[in-house]
Amino acid sequence: SDVDAQKRASGEAAAELAESGMVVGLGTGSTAAWFVKALAARKLDVTCVCTSVATADLAAGLGLRIAELGETREIDLTVDGADEIGPGLSLIKGGGAALLREKLVWEASKRCVVIADAAKQVPLLGKFPLPIEVVAFGHKTTQLRLCDALAECDIGVAPRLRMKDGAPVLTDGGNVIYDAACGRIEDPAALAAALKSVTGVVDHGLFLDLADLALVGTVDGVIRLEP
Ligand code: DER
């Protein structure tokens, strides 16, 4: 499909940014998977830090050397997908339930590059439901506090527990995910702060001031977006 071709083109373009000797952060999701495959195909001497068990399994299967976050020197380059790319390369991530490990790897990286198909680029964040990672213990109580925090940001929606096959989706870290269909996020920084202030909230999918470059696959090829 066109979308898949755009994801693949952006992932392959990002793989050209890697060099032997680098420590490379590997993102999670279908676009990031194209990057991992293209990186492995280059047969560089790199050490990879993974943002999910799923990515680690893919990378190991392709023969990439893997190290745990914190066990290497600083990460030179992290490449990862996104659910939305907004103004200033502000992002919504977490569609793949990997946002916590992704954000930890991103914050430990010298350079972060987002890869995506053209549909991910939006004029304002919020159409994609914002993933919020919550400790499983008492999460229904935390959900009530999330409603209050969202209301304080003039977002009158109730976050919904993400389910799969009749059970709550659990992250690699054993937490649950709530998705808030905000619609429009006028002040992402204010919302990010409000969410983090709720006890039981581990983190959320707003990635602000973290992306250094976006490589977006379009019908006319891969375009570069700077913050
Ligand atoms: O979960 C994530 O953050 C992923 O990067 C996701 O946002 C993008 O997934 P996709 O590349 O499969 O669209």
Taking only the tens place, the pLDDT of each residue in 2-30 is 999 999 999 999 999 999 999 999 999 99
pLDDT band at residue 187 using 50, 70 and 90 as cut-offs: very high
pLDDT band at residue 1 using 50, 70 and 90 as cut-offs: confident
- Catalytic residue, chosen from 12, 84, 102, 133, is 102
pLDDT band at residue 216 using 50, 70 and 90 as cut-offs: very high
- Output the pLDDT for position 147: 98
pLDDT value at 193 more than 90: yes
Average pLDDT over residues 86-94: 98
Q: Report how far ligand 1's centroid is from the alpha carbon of 31 (Å).
A: 7
Are 96 and 164 within 8 A, CB to CB?
no
Are 2 and 24 within 8 A, CB to CB?
no
- Write out pLDDT tens, residues 103-138: 999 999 999 999 999 999 999 999 999 999 999 999
Q: Is 133 tagged catalytic?
A: no
pLDDT band at residue 194 using 50, 70 and 90 as cut-offs: very high
DSSP summary character for residue 125: T
DSSP string, 144-200: HHHHHHHHHTT-----EE-EETTEE-B-TTS-EEEEE--S--S-HHHHHHHHHTSTT
As a whole number, the mean pLDDT across the chain is 98
Are 54 and 92 within 8 A, CB to CB?
no
pLDDT band at residue 68 using 50, 70 and 90 as cut-offs: very high
Percentage of the chain modeled with pLDDT above 90: 100
Reported as half-sphere exposure (CB side, CA atoms, 13 A), residue 85 has a value of: 24
Nearest residue (CA) to ligand 1, atom 9: 29
Give the whole-angstrom CA distance, residue 84 versus residue 94. Answer: 10
Residues with CB under 6 A from ligand 1: 27-32, 80-83, 93-96, 98-99, 102
Nearest residue (CA) to ligand 1, atom 11: 31
pLDDT value at 80 more than 90: yes
Among residues 142, 183, 179, 181, which one has the least CA distance to residue 162? 179
Q: Report how far ligand 1's centroid is from the alpha carbon of 202 (Å).
A: 19
Binding residues for substrate: 28-31, 80-83, 93-96, 120
- Output the pLDDT for position 57: 98
Interface ipTM? 0.97
In the chain, % helix, strand, coil (3-state, to 5) comes to 30, 30, 40
pLDDT band at residue 212 using 50, 70 and 90 as cut-offs: very high
